[in-house]
Each structure stands twice: as structure tokens, then as C-alpha cells.
Amino acid sequence: MNRKRLLEISVETLEAALAAECGGADRIELCDGLSLGGVTPSAEIVCAVHAQVRLPIFVMIRPRAGDFVYSTAEFADMKRSIASAKESGVEGVVLGILTKDHRVDAERTRELVELAKPLRVTFHRAFDEASDLRQALGEVIKTGAHRILTSGGARSAPEGAAVLAELVAAAGDRVVIVPGAGINAANVLQVARQTGAREFHSGLSTALPYGSGDRKKFEEEVRKLAEAIARVA
């Protein structure tokens, strides 16, 4: 069966979430601090977006910017944030933990995946900092996470397209590979055709600066991207 391709848009405000919805996004990744790569948003913004946006919402679970090796206190904070997300009624969470030697921290990630149930879990671009992406793929699959957001280890998904294609093929039906980073309406067709991926992630930072506040322009850029994805054969 030829499943519909999906577009996930990362946002940090209610206005941006509403604009993404109007523009044709299929899912929202809700964060704070997008210019820092995204951190956990406040419970207040999560509830506000959930109350007014009808799309599935995935909440970023990241206690701070920087690396993805977390202390015991930070890990406990991630657990509390997941519990809060579950209470808010959202559909998923986005997280990632690495060990000091740049491997997926499978044990602690699995613990968070179990805690998050029945929410869906995306392992975010911490994946791209793993020393061996093929090994990391197997480790994420074992945690029970449902998706991996990745640029194929490159600065952007278009640059990492060849590796992304390998990951999509290796993942099969065990986990969904979601290309992200640098994706826009001008390049998403190329990324889709090169990788065979069926879900795509964008914050549209190549089209608009984070926090620009131009809702109409943001909606237009989301619509261009959604329409481009719909044209993929």
C-alpha cells in the first residue's frame, strides 16, 4: 500500500503551530529554544497548543541545550517532563540520550520509552552524533522508539541523503526514518526521491529565521513544502 507522505513542522509558539496547521502540516513538534536545537517547552504552552491545534503534537523532551549526555538529575527531569506531556493529552514525545563514548544510551532510552507509553516516541538528532550510525540504528530499534529524526550524520538532510537512503533501507518496517535539517520546498523532492523516506521534518529555518513572528509568511512556507511533498511520485 502506498502510504501518504507526512510533514512534521517544529514550532515554539501557538501562533506558529496554528500557521503550520493552516499551511498543511501533518504533525507538530513543539519545542522551546529552537535556535538552540530545541529544548522542553513549558507545560503552559503545551496545554495551549493542544487545546487549539487539531494536529498530532510531539513534545520535545530535552532538559538543556548542548550535548546529549545527561546527569541523574537531568534524567529525572526528563521523566517528569514525559509525565507532564502524557497528562496534557499530546500524541508523542521527542528525546534522545547518548553515552560518553557517543553511543545510544539504550538502557535509559528504553526506560523513557516505557514511561511514555502509550505515546509515540521519536529519537531526535542526538542520533547524528553517534559514532556509528548503523550501530545506533539497531540500538534505537531495541529501545522500542518509533521514529528516528536524522540528517544522516551530515549538516543537513540533503547533504546526508545517501546515508539516509541506507538507513531507510536498513530500518525497513522496524522504525521510521524521518529526514530533517535544512529541508525546504526547493529540496524536499530530491530528498524524498534519493532516500525513499515517507516522513519529513522541517523548522523552515532556511526560509525564515527562528522567531521571525511572521505568521503569514510561515504559513506560506509550510504550504509550499506540503505541496512539494504531495508531488513526490
Chain segment 1-58, per-residue pLDDT in tens: 346 899 999 999 999 999 999 999 999 999 999 988 899 999 999 999 999 999 999 9
Kindly tell me if the per-residue pLDDT of 210 is higher than 90.
no
Q: Model confidence at 164, in pLDDT bands (50, 70, 90)?
A: very high
d(CA 61, CA 112): 10
Q: Which residue has the cell 511533498?
A: 229
Task: Please check whether residue 158 lies inside any domain of the structure.
Answer: yes
Q: Which residue has the cell 544510551?
A: 105
Task: Please check whether residue 207 lies inside any domain of the structure.
Answer: yes
CATH code at position 150 = 3.20.20.380
Domain count, the chain: 1
Task: Please check whether residue 166 lies inside any domain of the structure.
Answer: yes
Q: Are 16 and 29 in contact (CB under 8 A)?
A: no
Q: How many helices (H) and strands (E) does the chain have?
A: 8, 8
Task: Please check whether residue 99 lies inside any domain of the structure.
Answer: yes
Q: Are 93 and 82 in contact (CB under 8 A)?
A: yes
pLDDT of residue 207: 62
Residues 124-150, mean pLDDT to the nearest whole number: 97
Which domain range does residue 102 map to?
Answer: 6-230
Q: What does the pLDDT look like over 176-203, one tens digit per residue?
A: 999 999 999 999 999 999 999 999 999 9
Task: Please check whether residue 122 lies inside any domain of the structure.
Answer: yes
Kindly tell me if the per-residue pLDDT of 65 is higher than 80.
yes
Task: Please check whether residue 1 lies inside any domain of the structure.
Answer: no
